């Protein structure tokens, strides 16, 4: 089988909702990531055959945002594009689809990634078209409707995190300690410039001045365990999940360029990483955050390997409770997990995160001179996804 290489991988900084990146929509962010990814290896945009991008909150974004990103990035209109929505797994699914397109000879070079601007998510009213005889119209938040609420019960994902905490005996204290560690690791990474190789700075032009943004906005270097312990629970009275031990609402984008290892050699490009394997699995939506365990176990079975065979793991920290449950279930050593912090600190732009964690995994493996790793994340609706890579 052909070996599929990632030859370039860049991401934007992650902004908080209505924060430093709020003037940029999902297409804008995707274009910045896409252009940076091509420019960093001097790739001629004419060589890109397909663009596949993950995006979750799509209402009002215009036709096929992947196509918008493609054309605005200078890729010719003879290429094609597809937008994929598998909720939080969208960015990783885009990578998988790109891999499959190359393996089946549907494409030679593919640009993949994920993007989300939760700041620009619209409010919705599905009743206006039919009209209303009496009473006020009410609006729905597309962040909740299309991203964060269970489609069966309308319960927020935070309730599923509470379910996981209860089922697997994850205490509030353990969640807060996990969150503190995430912020501490992320703050250290920023201080030591660990994200520099994966990050593309963004210049925001104001009326009089321009601001260059080159760090993730939600990392709190001064967070303490005492501060976290004082926070009220967000989803359930006498619960354990708070704004401090859960990922926030965010904006960001990531992009990667994929081709066969042989094609990379022809273009004199050195692969950053080789994709080894992939798996996804489903579970009861009420404990959706636990699904990465099943996806990783499925991946390990396909590869006939054990957790100990991998050097690093990137687990998207949607919530500290589900992260701890997955880590405990798989027996992942904490020293191998999210070594530059995770989504509790860095943020979780829904359609972006699956691609972002793989980029961070590549960067961390290369920086620490290690070889192999797994990126994995939970997905609303009761699914998990995992991808393994190695560095040559």
Q: Enumerate the active-site residues.
A: 88, 348, 378
CA–CA separation, 81 and 209 (whole Å): 35
CA–CA separation, 376 and 350 (whole Å): 14
> Which sign does the torsion angle of CA 93, 364, 321, 215 carry?
negative
CA–CA separation, 8 and 34 (whole Å): 10
**CB-count burial class (<10 Å; 0-12, 13-18, 19+) for 369:** exposed
Residue whose C-alpha is closest to residue 360's, from 379, 378, 375: 375
Residue 167 CB neighbours (<10 A): 14
Tokens of 100: 């499959």
CA–CA separation, 15 and 3 (whole Å): 34
CA–CA separation, 72 and 30 (whole Å): 10
Taking CA atoms, 107 is separated from 39, 74, 97, 104, 159, in Å, by: 20, 18, 11, 8, 41
Tokens of 362: 């590549």
């Amino acid at each position: 089988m052909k070996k599929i290489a990632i030859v370039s991988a860049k991401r934007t900084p992650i902004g908080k909702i209505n924060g430093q990146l709020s003037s940029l929509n999902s297409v804008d962010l995707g274009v910045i990531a896409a252009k940076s990814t091509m420019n960093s290896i001097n790739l001629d945009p004419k060589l890109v055959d397909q663009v596949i991008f993950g995006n979750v909150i799509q209402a009002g974004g215009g036709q096929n945002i992947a196509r918008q990103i493609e054309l605005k990035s200078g890729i010719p209109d003879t290429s094609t594009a597809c937008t994929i929505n598998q909720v939080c797994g969208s960015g990783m699914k885009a990578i998988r689809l790109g891999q499959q397109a190359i393996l089946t000879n549907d494409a030679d070079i593919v640009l993949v990634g994920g993007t989300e601007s939760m700041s620009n998510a619209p409010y919705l009213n599905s009743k206006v078209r039919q009209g209303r005889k009496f009473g006020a119209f009410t609006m729905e938040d597309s962040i909740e409707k299309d991203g964060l609420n269970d489609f069966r019960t309308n319960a927020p994902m935070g309730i599923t995190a509470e379910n996981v905490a209860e089922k697997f005996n994850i205490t509030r204290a353990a969640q807060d300690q996990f969150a503190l560690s995430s912020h501490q690791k992320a703050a250290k990474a920023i201080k030591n410039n660990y994200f520099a190789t994966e990050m593309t700075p963004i210049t925001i032009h104001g009326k009089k001045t321009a601001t260059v943004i080159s760090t993730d906005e939600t990392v709190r270097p001064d967070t303490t365990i005492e501060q976290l312990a004082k926070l009220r629970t967000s989803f359930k009275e006498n619960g354990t999940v708070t704004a401090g031990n859960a990922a926030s609402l965010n904006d960001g984008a990531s992009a990667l360029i994929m081709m066969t290892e042989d094609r990379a050699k022809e273009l004199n490009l050195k692969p950053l990483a080789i994709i080894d394997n992939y798996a996804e699995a489903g579970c009861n939506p009420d404990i959706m955050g636990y699904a990465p365990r099943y996806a990783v176990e499925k991946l390990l079975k396909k590869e006939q390997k054990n957790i100990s065979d991998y050097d690093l793991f990137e687990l998207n920290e949607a919530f500290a409770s589900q992260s701890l449950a997955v880590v405990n279930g798989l027996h992942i050593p904490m020293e191998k997990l999210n070594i530059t912090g995770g989504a509790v600190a860095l943020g979780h732009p829904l359609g972006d995160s699956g691609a972002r964690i793989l980029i961070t995994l590549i960067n961390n493996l290369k920086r620490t001179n290690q070889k192999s790793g797994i990126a994995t994340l939970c997905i609303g609706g009761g699914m998990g996804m995992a991808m393994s890579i190695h560095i040559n």
